[in-house]
Amino acid sequence: MRNVLLFSALLLLGLIGSQSLPHLIGPAYAVFGDAVRILTMIGLSFIMIHVGYEFDIDKSNLGHYGWDYFVAFTAASFPWILVTLYFVFVLLPAEYWWTLAAWKETLLAGRFAAPTSAGVLFSMLAAAGLGATWLYRKARILAIFDDLDTVLLMIPLKMLMIGLAWQLGVIVVVMVLMLAVAYILLHRVRIPITWPWVLGYAAGITVISELVYKSSILIDDSVPIHIEVLLPAFVLGCAVAYTGNGSGGSGEHRHAHAAIETKTEKRVAKIVAAVFMVMVGLSMPGIVGNDLALQEKPVAADAASTLHAAGSPDATGSARKAGTTDQVGRISSSQPSMGWLQLALHVMGITFVSNLGKMFIAFCYRREAHWRERLAVAIGMWPRGEVGAGVLVISMSYGIGGPIVTIAMLSLTLNLLLTGVFIYIVRFLTRPLPGYGEIEG
């Protein structure tokens, strides 16, 4: 568990930096924020290429993955629904409970609770020595589907805010095409897979993502096109052929991964994961000085653009062009102010209900795993990170603020800080089970 403790400390270091560096650096933080964003994207791409390389599916039993997708959909939807209900019926005055504006704002702000941070989860599970377990394989599928659902469900939410936009349709089409490529070319493309090459692939995916985003702004800055790097990186990893020449048996599986199982490869992967942890912490938007005053404040466009790479395009232009900035945010500004104790209680409440929404997974896969393994998968899906922060940045760019966003941001930060605790619980649950068989790792 030393690696887990190390990664947890690096996350904490990054979080401290995200709150202190803007005040220390001043205006130059915009440039620093861009560097953090790019490094976060490259690190996530590197991790997801390796995840895709180790990913395999049984094409003769696709119905099984349909069930996985449904389970992942609940993992992305239930936390969102519970948090939204909490926002509306606990934080808002009763006169706003049945107004469309209140539901639009809270549905968007509550979406932060949906996505599991795939990069953080995979890095932590590998650091805990669980990379060869059923838990890791199942969490890998569910976390990827979870993040895909988050991106897809953001599209109708953005339509609620700005109306129909052709760019949103383009994003859906591109995502479907990439998934088709991953399925058709699964482990058929023979390209190098050692760390210098993978780092180059990761940087290339990041550059292409940025170019598409910047070009779409030149065409129409109201709704930029941004394809989160998680999906193309995963697809590339899926397409890379194994180095073995057999038919896919366990012996070939070990040979196929020999290229990335050397000491050098493992050392570089650990360094990349460690840097990624720091970058995730640094990617968190500032809290003190922005929203903790519990007043309605417009958020600078720089803040939104800084985190668009986490799957959250800068929505400031779209809100401005659609004329929504005057209307959106009125509900959030009507929230009553609250003291620190009340704020802390709501943060714990939101954190509890958002993680409760992930627990449906523990009731699934009864024929595949012991209840402890299923519970471990559910808890393993609790870590949130850069994608959830990106959703909150979108919310703030539309003018949503007040205690709702403050509580959401603090809850996200608390959840991120507890990632090491979650992984420790998962490790405890996956100890050898007497009379049931041993769990690897």
Rounded to the nearest angstrom, the gap between the alpha carbon of residue 83 and the centroid of all alpha carbons in its chain is 17
pLDDT at 300: 33
Alpha helices by DSSP H, 128-258: 134-162, 166-184, 195-219, 230-239, 250-256
The label of the residue with tokens 């049931």 reads 436
Quick count: other Cβ atoms within 10 Å of Cβ 57? 15
Helices 263-282 and 118-127: crossing angle, nearest 10°? Answer: 140
| Secondary structure class of 248 (helix, strand, coil) | coil
List the structure tokens of 249. Answer: 């048996």
Which positions ≥6 away from 52 have C-beta within 8 Å?
182, 233, 234, 235, 236, 237, 238, 239, 240
Query: Are residues 11 and 280 in contact, defined by beta-carbon separation less than 8 angstroms?
Result: yes
pLDDT at 348: 94
**CATH for 2-429?**
1.20.1530.20
Q: How far apart are CA 36 and CA 277, in angstroms?
A: 11
Q: Nearest Cα to 136, choosing from 263, 57, 51, 69?
A: 51
CA atoms within 13 A on the CB side of 38: 13
pLDDT at 311: 39
CA atoms within 13 A on the CB side of 424: 13
pLDDT at 397: 64
The label of the residue with tokens 């809290």 reads 287
| Secondary structure class of 433 (helix, strand, coil) | strand
Q: Nearest Cα to 153, choosing from 178, 172, 173, 181?
A: 172
Query: Are residues 119 and 385 in contact, defined by beta-carbon separation less than 8 angstroms?
Result: yes
Which phi and psi (to 5°) does residue 132 adopt? -105, 15
Query: Are residues 351 and 411 in contact, defined by beta-carbon separation less than 8 angstroms?
Result: yes
> Could you tell me the pTM of the whole model?
0.74
Q: How far apart are CA 18 and CA 107, in angstroms?
A: 26
pLDDT at 334: 58
Which positions ≥6 away from 245 have C-beta within 8 Å?
252
Give bridge partners of residue 433 from the DSSP assignment.
Answer: 437
DSSP per-residue string spanning 310-340: GT----HHHHHHHT-TTTTTHHHHTSPP--H
Q: Nearest Cα to 117, choosing from 301, 360, 281, 328?
A: 281
Per-residue pLDDT of the chain (441 residues), as tens digits, is 677 778 888 888 888 888 888 888 888 888 888 888 899 889 888 988 988 887 878 777 777 788 898 999 999 999 999 999 999 898 888 888 888 888 888 888 888 888 888 878 888 888 888 888 889 889 988 988 887 787 778 778 777 777 777 777 888 888 889 989 988 998 899 999 899 999 999 999 999 999 988 888 888 776 777 777 888 998 999 999 887 544 444 444 555 666 777 889 889 988 998 898 888 888 776 665 444 433 333 333 333 333 333 334 344 444 444 444 444 455 655 566 677 888 889 999 999 999 999 999 999 999 888 999 999 999 999 988 767 776 776 776 666 767 888 888 888 888 888 888 999 999 999 887 554 444 443
Domain boundaries, the chain: 2-429
pLDDT at 160: 74
Q: How far apart are CA 382 and CA 426, in angstroms?
A: 11
Q: How far apart are CA 317 and CA 323, in angstroms?
A: 10
CA atoms within 13 A on the CB side of 279: 26
Rounded to the nearest angstrom, the gap between the alpha carbon of residue 212 and the centroid of all alpha carbons in its chain is 21
pLDDT at 14: 86
The label of the residue with tokens 């397409």 reads 239
List the structure tokens of 325. Answer: 């900035």
Query: Are residues 305 and 224 in contact, defined by beta-carbon separation less than 8 angstroms?
Result: no
* Longest alpha-carbon distance in the chain: 67
Quick count: other Cβ atoms within 10 Å of Cβ 243? 15
Q: How far apart are CA 432 and CA 174, in angstroms?
A: 43
pLDDT at 335: 62
List the structure tokens of 39. Answer: 């490094």
User: CA dihedral in degrees (105, 106, 108, 114; nearest 10)?
Assistant: 180
pLDDT at 74: 93
